[in-house]
Homo-oligomer: A and B are copies of this chain.
Amino acid sequence: MFEAAELGRKVGREEFDAVAPQLRTELLELQQRLRAADFPVIIIFAGVDGAGKNETVNLLNEWMDPRWIVTRAYGAPSDEERERPEYWRYWRDLPAKGKLGLFLSSWYHRPVLNRAQGNITVAEMDEELDRIVHFEQTLSDEGALIIKFWMHLSEKAQKKRLKKLEEDPLTAWQVSETDWKHWKMYDKFIAAAERVIRHSSKSHALWHIVEGADARYRTSVVLNTVKDAILRHLESRELAKKIVAEMKKPAKGKKVEKPKLLTAQPSILSSLDMTQAVEGDDYNRQLQEQRGRLSQLHRKAKEKGVSTVLVFEGWDAAGKGGTIRRLTSALNARDSQVIPIAAPTEEERAQHYLWRFWRHLSRSGRVTIFDRSWYGRVLVERVEGFCSEEAWQRAYGEINDLEEQMTQAGTVVCKFWLHITSEEQLARFEQRGQIEYKKWKLTDEDWRNREKWGDYEAAVNDMVEKTSTRTAPWTLIEANNKPFARVKVLTTVCDALEAALKKRK
């Protein structure tokens, strides 16, 4: 695999100097064009030590406008990072649309090194690669351009290069003992690299193997590859927009309607017993009991570093706010937060749609309550046509991945759909319209959403079917009776926390 990167390819100084100014101008112009684009560019530099990864990143920062470039290198994870799902640190550093992200010692670093050192088995490395492939797929599905460079040196060339750096007092500091330790396991490193490149070279995120011995040659390859890839991606995104526009046309004309005998079927919501209620003293007693329980469990979870993520979705006026308040008043405000999800901010719109949820994940031992959530994509965005069918169909898998990363990091995930009947909603809307201090809560949008009750019901049904998993289940809450709903939510959260803490013993 690396034979073709050990041929001694070279570019002479004169040759290079003749084309460099032109190339540099082209790159700068391209960067300006990119700023208006609807995708970020993610460039990975990996490979053999001494093959010019750092130098190339420095050159890119020098030749291009560094204001639109994010450069990141990852060492051992910080406390902050260790207490969250592994990919949190990569998510938070992703470049926004229109920007370039240059990544050194990226998500590929640890799998390759751990395998070379024999810390993990081939199967474990493959698992890690799977996560990487998913991650890159998710980014690319939303439009990101991903370019990956493997900078290569033969074993002999690496030795020569390290020696040369050591001999020059100006560069000697660049060579550490670690570099020589890595050199000694060259063979194992290369074997791991081969597997990584093979298994993660996908058409949406190709690896480019670059012979790293000659600085002018490797620079020429990297810069030209970057230039071509961005140009092509700009063109293909423009074409894609045309296609999407065209695809919408026939869909509107002759939309396949599901036959009545299928749409008239009961949904998972219709199977709920909506008459369930808790009254008066019973309510107060149960509420106090569960709140006391939650308070204790919350303290224990903090001690043991068990995080909790609670997701609230439901019909307008189903009582999400009131339920959440009953929860938070039993929690320590320092160790819990409520994240209300409304329209994304400008900064958030410039990122992958999941980015704004990743950024809010708390450190270990905390409770994070999402008042509406990432499920917006398969609910309102689906029903209102804010994203393509392809996008919301894909979202089920992306959401499952997101939640799996949370649960794998030890987080307890509970998801609640607060259900009320259509009649109950109407009654609550009308009541709101009559009470002065509640009027602001009722908007035209609420009435419009109400008209799409059936579409939302179908969307909820699919959502539960596709994302209710053993580790992150949905709990459907019968919420016509508010006290009943509150007690059921509290009890469910306590049960889940208790079970998780038992496992930790």
Q: Which residues of A contact B (CB under 8 A)?
A: 1-5, 7-9, 11, 15-16, 19, 123, 126-127, 130, 191, 194, 198, 201-203, 206, 209, 217, 220-221, 224, 228, 231-232, 235-236, 239, 242-243, 246-247, 250, 256, 258-259, 261-262, 265-268, 270-271, 390, 393-394, 396-397, 400, 461-462, 464-470, 474
Is B258 in contact with A224, judged by CB distance below 8 angstroms?
yes
Is A4 in contact with B261, judged by CB distance below 8 angstroms?
no
Is B243 in contact with A465, judged by CB distance below 8 angstroms?
no
- Cα-based distance from A252 to B469 in the complex (angstroms): 49
Residues in chain B near residue A2, CB distance under 8 A = 465
A-B contact pairs, 19 of them (CB 8 A): A1-B468, A1-B469, A3-B268, A4-B267, A4-B268, A5-B465, A19-B259, A19-B261, A126-B130, A191-B470, A194-B470, A198-B397, A201-B397, A202-B397, A203-B390, A203-B397, A209-B465, A220-B261, A232-B256
Is B7 in contact with A266, judged by CB distance below 8 angstroms?
yes
Residues in chain B near residue A228, CB distance under 8 A = 256
* A491, chain B: closest CB distance, angstroms: 19
Residues in chain B near residue A250, CB distance under 8 A = 235
Residue from A8, A256, A261, A394 whose CB has the most chain B CB atoms within 10 Å: A261
Is A16 in contact with B261, judged by CB distance below 8 angstroms?
yes
Question: Which of B8, B201, B467 is in CB contact (< 8 Å) with A266?
Answer: B8
Q: What are the 3 A-B residue pairs with the smallest beta carbon separation, nearest first?
A: A4-B465, A9-B265, A4-B268
Residues in chain B near residue A1, CB distance under 8 A = 465-469
- Cα-based distance from A256 to B230 in the complex (angstroms): 12
Residues in chain B near residue A9, CB distance under 8 A = 265-266
Q: A220-B259, A221-B262, A224-B259 are in contact. List 7 more A-B contacts (CB 8 A).
A: A4-B268, A7-B271, A8-B266, A202-B397, A203-B390, A236-B247, A242-B246
Residues in chain B near residue A224, CB distance under 8 A = 258-259, 262
- Cα-based distance from A48 to B325 in the complex (angstroms): 43
Question: Which of B243, B261, B461, B474 is in CB contact (< 8 Å) with A243?
Answer: B243
Residues in chain B near residue A271, CB distance under 8 A = 7
Which residue of chain B is the closest to A238 with respect to CB atoms? B250
* A141, chain B: closest CB distance, angstroms: 8
- Cα-based distance from A231 to B256 in the complex (angstroms): 9
Is B393 in contact with A7, judged by CB distance below 8 angstroms?
no
Residues in chain B near residue A217, CB distance under 8 A = 265
Known: A127-B126, A221-B262. A198 touches B469 (CB 8 A): yes
Known: A1-B466, A201-B396, A224-B258. A239 touches B246 (CB 8 A): yes
Known: A3-B465, A130-B130, A261-B220. A243 touches B232 (CB 8 A): no
* A195, chain B: closest CB distance, angstroms: 9
- Cα-based distance from A429 to B406 in the complex (angstroms): 65
Is A194 in contact with B19, judged by CB distance below 8 angstroms?
no
- Cα-based distance from A393 to B202 in the complex (angstroms): 9
* A163, chain B: closest CB distance, angstroms: 24
- Cα-based distance from A154 to B349 in the complex (angstroms): 42
Is A239 in contact with B247, judged by CB distance below 8 angstroms?
yes
Residues in chain B near residue A262, CB distance under 8 A = 220-221, 224
- Cα-based distance from A11 to B264 in the complex (angstroms): 10
- Cα-based distance from A198 to B467 in the complex (angstroms): 8
- Cα-based distance from A270 to B7 in the complex (angstroms): 9
Is B3 in contact with A468, judged by CB distance below 8 angstroms?
yes
Residues in chain B near residue A394, CB distance under 8 A = 203
Which residue of chain B is the closest to A242 with respect to CB atoms? B246
Residues in chain B near residue A3, CB distance under 8 A = 268, 464-465, 468, 474
Residues in chain B near residue A266, CB distance under 8 A = 7-9
- Cα-based distance from A357 to B490 in the complex (angstroms): 60
Residues in chain B near residue A16, CB distance under 8 A = 261
Residues in chain B near residue A468, CB distance under 8 A = 1, 3
Is B123 in contact with A206, judged by CB distance below 8 angstroms?
no
Known: A1-B466, A123-B127, A465-B1. A393 touches B239 (CB 8 A): no
- Cα-based distance from A265 to B11 in the complex (angstroms): 8
Residue from A228, A259, A396 whose CB has the most chain B CB atoms within 10 Å: A259
- Cα-based distance from A3 to B470 in the complex (angstroms): 12
Which residue of chain B is the closest to A4 with respect to CB atoms? B465
Residues in chain B near residue A256, CB distance under 8 A = 228, 231-232
Is B7 in contact with A268, judged by CB distance below 8 angstroms?
yes
